[in-house]
Amino acid sequence: MLEVSYLKSIKQQFEYYKILGEKAIEQLEEDQLFISLNEDSNSIATIIKHISGNMLSRWTDFLTSDGEKEWRNRDTEFENDIQSKSELLEIWNKGWSCLFDAINPLKQEDLSKIIFIRNEGHTVAEAINRQLAHYPYHIGQIVFLAKLLKKTEWNSLSIPKNKSANYNAGKFSKEKSMKNFTEDELRKFNG
């Protein structure tokens, strides 16, 4: 069924992007998490604070209340006031826990329900897709900033430069199969 495979797919994709962000963060020294490249850019810590704030707002009481909670103060998410890597990871994990607590119990019949974000109606599937575009956008920023900060000491999180032919040869040497693209990547990340 399409709906069942959709729910499985979105869970795997969220997990993949969570781990991708964590693998980038792991490569950095603590002070690098708080570096802004210029006054108009955000540090990795600030991006994480924003992602987590968004997650807490969007996924708390996901099916029953507006995704933009009255208690959310989005502007403060862009204030660089986190003091340590451990505090930052606590904020990161709190947001992701809220997200997974909301999507794990979803059933296919929930996908067509209407929920609201800033008073604008979305089906549950549309709301999920909205966030599945938003979080990878910011995780891409985290990976890009981490790569810039690490310079030549960066360990690639995808296909390394000049290794596409080897990667493709490995993929095409296997039988065709139906699976989410994240399955092999999640196995690779999890050892």
What fold is seen in the domain 2-189?
Four Helix Bundle (Hemerythrin (Met), subunit A) (1.20.120)
Instruction: Tell me the C-alpha distance between 2 and 25, whole Å.
Output: 34
DSSP string, 85-112: HHHHHHHHHHHHHHHHHHHTT--GGGTT
Instruction: Tell me the C-alpha distance between 67 and 61, whole Å.
Output: 8
Find tokens 């067509």 and name the residue. 112
What pLDDT, on a 0 to 100 scale, did the predictor assign at position 91? Answer: 98
Find tokens 């430069």 and name the residue. 161
Q: What is the pTM of this model?
A: 0.90
Question: What are the extents of the domains in the chain?
Answer: 2-189
Residue range 129-150, pLDDT digits in tens: 999 999 999 999 999 999 999 9
Average model confidence (pLDDT) across the chain: 92
Lowest-pLDDT range of 32-36, 80-84, 96-100, 117-121: 80-84
Q: How confident is the model at residue 110 (pLDDT cuts 50, 70, 90)?
A: very high
Tokens of 13: 């994709």
Residue 116 three-state SS:
strand
Q: What angle do CA 75, 39, 46 make, to 5 degrees?
A: 45
